[in-house]
Amino acid sequence: MPRILLFLALFHSLFLSLPAAARPADPPRRLVLIDDDVIGLNGVPALLLQVPDVEVLGITTTSGSVWRDTATAHALRTLELTGKPNVPVVPGAVYPLLNSREQVIRWEGMYGRLVFKGPWTDYWPGDTIQEHPGVTDPADVPDLSYGNPSIKASDEIAALFLIRMARRYPGQVTLFATGPMTNIALALSLDPEFARNIKELVYMGGSLNPRQHLSNPSADQFAREFVNSPRREFNIRWDPEAARIMAHAPWRRITMIPVDPSTGTQWTRGFLDSLGSAPNPLTGALARSIAVGFPMWDELAAMVWLEPGIVTKRDTLYVDFETSMTAGYGDTLSWTEAYRPKLGEQAQDVVLEVDRERMEAAMRALYTRPIAGGGKR
Amino acid sequence: MPRILLFLALFHSLFLSLPAAARPADPPRRLVLIDDDVIGLNGVPALLLQVPDVEVLGITTTSGSVWRDTATAHALRTLELTGKPNVPVVPGAVYPLLNSREQVIRWEGMYGRLVFKGPWTDYWPGDTIQEHPGVTDPADVPDLSYGNPSIKASDEIAALFLIRMARRYPGQVTLFATGPMTNIALALSLDPEFARNIKELVYMGGSLNPRQHLSNPSADQFAREFVNSPRREFNIRWDPEAARIMAHAPWRRITMIPVDPSTGTQWTRGFLDSLGSAPNPLTGALARSIAVGFPMWDELAAMVWLEPGIVTKRDTLYVDFETSMTAGYGDTLSWTEAYRPKLGEQAQDVVLEVDRERMEAAMRALYTRPIAGGGKR
């Protein structure tokens, strides 16, 4: 053992003295914290965990598309299937900072029905091809279609875990957020240095001017979410105050992936079939957990981070979110430099369009990659 | 004379007994009231006054793009040039119901700069190819590039004139509104029967999901008005409370022409040249008053009414406007039936796209039509 350590130290100092391009086999690790309302194996973790040079420091969970405890179960099961049971899963916020079911009902009376309300979605108004979900209780965790986890979550609080990791690796961690911003807002409020300790924030949320790009019944259904409310997006609308706290923090760099690029993506049977019979338990679990027809929301965000070349259109905008309890509650606000109010909103790198084929090819490569240790089935 | 009357009566009863299609020469008059922040000869009146079967009962003016008195001068001059000096021009609201320059300045401090503020537009933020307009006084009426009017406006109040005409011709009048809704809101508040007395409301205002369709510097400039605020449009933003009163009134029929179809239209030198040397004073005045590069806003609305066949995409939506003094002040709200709040908002026939070539051809035919009496030069 000492001999090996000595060798490693020698190897390390040797290659550190070379120019970066000359180092043959020492790729820098990309540290990432995932904060997500994980809704299944199609989630971000399954992709990021499959990238050799990416080290997932942990997954913090939040309510959003599903309640936090359900998101936590999905995250744990994903870690088992990808052979990474030691990555910590840290449960976070159950409720938004201010928003509540009662407030949503009152708001709908004034401003019309929301399309998707996460676990508060009692039914879909109008004709729909979807099943009506029905309101669920935060503690109810359904059996997962691809098996329940046997590993357990951490008993740390998500915001504190985020702060601890950011302090341990200052300036080195990508914070990858694809759910509501509640945990992140709490971390920002608890630790004024949190944003500056993070290397970059990459988040999926908000909506600018989305347009329906695909013509099929599923695309029609999801277009309901933006055609009459182009500035409204669920992650932000679940907790607008948290999003505003996020948008005013002094991040070193922010990448926003709004709804806009997602409308050109979609889970299809063809894509799932194209994964073939890869020798890992991921593809089977995907087939059992994916709802064909859904946009590839969080996966798109993951691929933007992993393969920036898939982005075909981007813009720099100042972004904020509306927190007045009016028609625009939770709406995305954006400005170019000359128009912004200068109230602390930050410049964000906004992804507007992606190359779907290139994205799917990169996803396919990751999903079908052999899993270290084979993963647990 | 009596013989002629007898003949006419005979002629009339004869043809009334025939099926409608067989009547050779008795087109029904289409009565119209124009309410407009008239900004030049390119305005609506010049088109509507040129249609043989359309009878313009009067033009009511309002502040909006320019102050009311300037709009009034444009309307009067247009009547002279089209040989219709007896059509009444009735001045209306100078200020919005609640909105004010001070309030706009305060709002901009909170929510960022507006692009166009009508006569309150002090300067254009950021780089621009346009001249900075500078704030003007309501009483300042500039010399018109195509000559000042010699006829005078009515001393009636616009809202009262609108009510009087609607009562005189109940169910027969199209109310054609292409400016802020202040006069119309006042008429609705004064006379609870006003909306029901009107045959149909056709208005240009509001914004849904506009997209830049043309690639040139002018189109880039105008895209600033919607790219970061897709639900904001000037006519409504000038007087949001008036727009909300309009949107809740029990009209028999409402046609909305939002910004969306206008982004595919543009005044071009080519179109003006195509008018040639028509033997009427309109085309010369157009050449002197048109700002090439501007969208054909109000003209588009006029042509939608005159030539419904130019509409290539439309939708039925429930529409309202935000009046809370927040980021969304004056924003367009829209819903399909299943999502609307049912607070009195009405179903509107919303024009989304038009056939530009067909529209321009119809405009050309009207602008180059010989003018009765030759018009005053």
- The answer to whether A218 and A263 have CB atoms below 8 angstroms apart is no
Asked if B312 and B354 touch (Cβ cutoff 8 Å), the reply is: yes
CB contact under 8 A, B230 and A230: yes
Q: Compute the average pLDDT of residues B11-28.
A: 49
Tell me which of B116, B228, B260, B336 to substitute to probe the interface with A (most A C-beta atoms closer than 10 Å): B228
CB A91 within 8 A of CB A63: no
Is A9 a member of any domain? no
Amino acid code (one letter) for B374: G
Q: What is the DSSP string of A9-39?
A: HHHHHHHHTS-GGG-SS-PPPEEEEEEE---
B59: tokens are 């033009």
Tell me the C-alpha to C-alpha distance, in Å, between residue A310 and each of A213, A353, A357, A360, B58: 17, 9, 9, 10, 58
CB contact under 8 A, B112 and A228: no
Cα–Cα dist B172/B165, whole Å:
10
Q: Is residue B361 part of a domain?
A: yes
Q: Which helix (H) or strand (E) holds A202?
A: strand A198-204
Q: Which of B198, B326, B331, B172 is nearest to B254 (CA)?
A: B198
For all residues of chain A together, what is the average pLDDT? Answer: 89
C-alpha torsion B235→B239→B243→B245, nearest 10: -160
* B16 Cβ contact partners less than 8 Å away, ≥ 6 residues apart: B23
Whether B255 is covered by a domain: the verdict is yes
Give the single-character DSSP code of B131.
P
| Inter-chain CB proximity A228 and B336 less than 8 Å | yes
Residue A44 domain boundaries: 26-374
Does the pLDDT at position A364 exceed 60? Answer: yes
Q: How many CB atoms lie within 10 A of CB B21?
A: 5
Question: Which residues of chain B does A127 touch, with a Cβ-Cβ cutoff of 8 Å?
Answer: 338
> Do residues B348 and B257 make contact, with C-beta atoms less than 8 angstroms apart?
no
Q: What is the mean pLDDT of residues A332-353?
A: 97
CA–CA min distance B342, chain A (Å): 8
pLDDT of amino acid B339: 96
Nearest CA in chain B to A228: B334
Selected residue with higher pLDDT from A227 and B128: A227
* Contact yes or no for A324 and B327 at CB 8 A: yes
pLDDT in tens, B196-213: 999 999 999 999 999 999
Q: Which amino acid is at A25?
A: A
Contact (CB, 8 A) for B277 and B367: no
Q: Do A112 and B231 touch (CB under 8 A)?
A: no
* Among B331, B337, B339, beta carbon nearest to A328: B331
Write out residues 210-249 of A within 8 Å (CB-CB) of B: 211, 224, 227-228, 230-231
Contacts of B341 in chain A (CB under 8 A): 108-113
Per-residue DSSP letter, B97: S
Tokens of B207: 């914004």
Which residues in chain B have Cβ-Cβ distances shorter than 8 Å to A109? 341
Residues A236 and A205: beta-carbon distance below 8 Å: yes
Is 90 exceeded by the pLDDT of residue B13? no
| Partner A contacted by B333 (CB < 8 A) | yes
Residue window 338-377, chain A: list those with CB within 8 Å of chain B.
338-341, 343
CA distances (Å), origin B205, targets A97, A207, A256, B64: 37, 23, 31, 12
| pLDDT the model gives residue A8 | 42
CA angle, residues B36, A328, B226, in degrees to nearest 5: 50
Chain B, window 244-303: residues with a beta carbon less than 8 angstroms from a chain A beta carbon: none
pLDDT at B1 over 50: no
- Residues A155-214 pLDDT 10s: 999 999 999 999 999 999 999 999 999 999 999 999 999 999 999 999 999 999 999 999
Which residues of chain B does A337 touch, with a Cβ-Cβ cutoff of 8 Å?
126
We report the CATH number of the domain holding residue A257 as 3.90.245.10
Number of domains in chain B: 1
Q: Sort out which chain B residues have CB atoms less than 8 A from A113's CB and list them.
A: 338-339, 341
Residue A110, chain B, CB below 8 Å: the answer is: yes
Q: Which member of B108, B328, B333 has the closest CB to residue A322? A: B328
Task: Give contacts of B111 with chain A, Cβ < 8 Å.
Answer: 333, 341
Strand B198-204 with B254-257, pairing = parallel
Residue A176 lies in a domain: yes
ipTM metric: 0.89
Higher model confidence: residue A99 or residue B221?
A99
Judging contacts by C-beta atoms under 8 Å, the chain A residues touching residue B317 are: 228
Does residue A55 lie within any of the structural domains? yes
Return the SS3 of A91: strand
Nearest Cα residue in chain A from B337? A126
Which position has the higher pLDDT, B292 or A319? A319
pLDDT the model gives residue A127: 72
Asked if the structure places residue A136 within a domain, the reply is yes
Q: Measure CA of the first residue to CA of the last residue in chain A; give whole Å.
A: 34
DSSP state of A200: E
pLDDT band at A15 (very low <50, low <70, confident <90, very high): very low
Report the pLDDT value the prediction gives residue B221, as an integer from 0 to 100.
Answer: 87
What is the structure's pLDDT at A43?
72
Min Cα distance A116 → chain B (Å) is 12
Q: Do B331 and A327 touch (CB under 8 A)?
A: yes
Task: State whether residue B328 sits within 8 Å of chain A by CB.
Answer: yes
Residue A188 falls within a domain, yes or no?
yes
Nearest to A326 among B109, B231, B328 (CB): B328
Q: Do A339 and B211 touch (CB under 8 A)?
A: no
CA separation for the pair B214, B232 (Å, rounded): 20
Look-up: residue for tokens 């009566």?
B9
**What six digits make up the tokens of B15?**
């043809």
Integer Cα distance of B305 and B44 in angstroms: 11
Residue A44 lies in a domain: yes
Nearest to B328 among A109, A327, A340 (CB): A327
The answer to whether residue A13 scores a pLDDT higher than 50 is no
- Asked if the Cβ–Cβ distance from A338 to B113 is below 8 Å, we say yes
B316 lies within 8 A of chain A by CB: no
